[in-house]
Homo-oligomer: A and B are copies of this chain.
Amino acid sequence: MATIKEVAALAGVTPTTVTNVLRGRGRVSEATRARVLDAVRQKGYRPNLTARALVERKAPTLALMLGCITNPFYPEFTLQAQLAARRHERFLLICNTDEERDGGKQFIEQVAGSLSDGVLVANNGELDLQALLAVSSRGTPVVISVWEDPATSPGIPAVAFDSRRAGRLATAHLIALGHRRIGAVIASSRQGIHSGRYLGFRDALNEAGLACDERHIRFCTDTFDSGYAAALALFGEQPDISAVFVSNDLPALGVLNAAADRGLSVPADLSVVSITDIHQAAQSRPSLSTVRIPTAEMAARGIELLLDLLEKRVVSGPVICIPDLTLIARQSTAAPRARD
């Protein structure tokens, strides 16, 4: 790799002049400017971003920590995070914390404030807030995105959506269609990351004057297979439910398959609604009715918040809520059978 020195020598100038030409700073005569650019071309010179970062005390990257990119929620999130970063001339470093023994603690401690100027953490319900706070208090901005409760702060700047309202909207959709015996598959523990979505489910039942039968609730983990298994059990034990609320699209797709494997026709025999609107929700058969959450914007705003923090711009508040929630009614929901 050619260095700036070599280019400067070839052009008969000093490194300073080369920098000024390349970065459009200072005033350089057209003649030397041309000579410099020519030398740059000849040598195939590219500035060394590592050296630049060191002297500018500013890293060219931001880091993104997420559970596992294989979960179809994350690619959409990651893409938007990268685009936002690129808009601000930053590169994105990614870490799949599920595959790190320590949940990414080592990653963030190595990267934050050294390779990367800031860290965006996608909330997967298993945040090590201690570690994040430690990093944050050492002076490197850390932002949590996909925070589920706008009313509570994790103690770190966060971008949130109103998960409880999302749960309510989804469930209200089922109720509006006429369903009365509604089950739920919650893809976390009762107090876990989907607790807000679960509370929204209960809110909607309460508002409609419906009782919440605990036997109709299943808790599982946030995977396709876990949703499948939970639904299979639920259908076996509670055959009279006419609809099910699932706290997330990925397990909901598993629920759809479980219904099919039990010979339940969706939506004729069973309606299914969930939350998120990942791409697959529109591609499944039947397509999945779901409440769309602002995934793309939460990613972009997370990056922007990080940059605001870096430049010490005033930040509107510790928790930014993106309010957009839209019920997307597709094929998986319909009115219950007449007998209901």
| Distance (whole angstroms) from the CB of A50 to the closest CB of chain B | 5
Instruction: Give the size category of A's interface with B.
Output: 35 or more
CA distance A285 to B288 in the complex (A): 13
Of the listed residues A60, A69, A100, A134, the one surrounded by the most CB atoms of chain B closer than 10 A to its CB is: A69
* Chain B residues whose CB sits within 8 angstroms of the CB of A83 once the complex forms: 96, 99
Within 8 A of B (CB), among A70-99: 70, 72, 74-76, 78-79, 82-83, 86, 91-96, 99
**CB-based contact B115/A49 at 8 Å:** yes
Query: Assuming the A-B contacts A95-B82, A113-B46, A138-B1, are A69 and B61 also in contact, with contact meaning beta carbons closer than 8 angstroms in the complex?
Result: no
Residues of B within 8 A of A280 (CB): 280
Query: Which chain B positions have C-beta within 8 A of A114?
Result: 1, 46-50
Instruction: List chain B residues, Cβ under 8 A from A283.
Output: 224, 253-254, 257
Determine whether A20 belongs to the interface, using a CB cutoff of 8 Å to chain B.
no
Give the docked Cα–Cα distance between A110 and B111 (Å). 20
* Least Cβ–Cβ distance between A232 and chain B, in angstroms: 15
Assess whether B50 is in contact with A59, with CB atoms less than 8 Å apart. yes
Residue of B nearest to A283 (CB): B224
Given A283-B224, A284-B284, CB of A82 within 8 Å of CB of B61: no
Asked whether A68 is an interface residue with its Cβ less than 8 Å from the other chain, the reply is yes
Cα(A75)–Cα(B257), bound, Å: 23
- Asked if residues B46 and A110 are in contact (CB atoms below 8 Å), the reply is yes
Which residue of the partner chain, among B61, B95, B96, B138, contacts A44 with CB atoms under 8 Å?
B138
A68, A91, A99 pick with most chain B CB within 10 angstroms: A91
Known: A92-B94, A253-B283, A283-B253. A113 touches B69 (CB 8 A): no
A71 to B61, CA, bound (A): 24
Chain B residues near A205 (CB-CB < 8 A)? none
Cβ–Cβ < 8 Å partners of A54 in chain B: 48, 50-51, 54
The distance in angstroms between the C-alpha atoms of A83 and B83, with both chains bound, is 23
Instruction: Say yes or no for A260: interface residue by CB 8 A criterion.
Output: yes
Please name all residues of chain B whose beta carbon is closer than 8 Å to the beta carbon of A254 when the two chains form the complex: 283
User: Within 8 Å of chain B (Cβ to Cβ): is A140?
Assistant: yes
Q: A-B pairs with the 4 shortest C-beta distances?
A: A69-B75, A49-B114, A48-B114, A49-B115
Q: Give 7 pairs: A residue, B residue, CB < 8 Å, sorted on A.
A: A1-B139, A44-B134, A61-B115, A78-B94, A82-B94, A224-B283, A285-B285
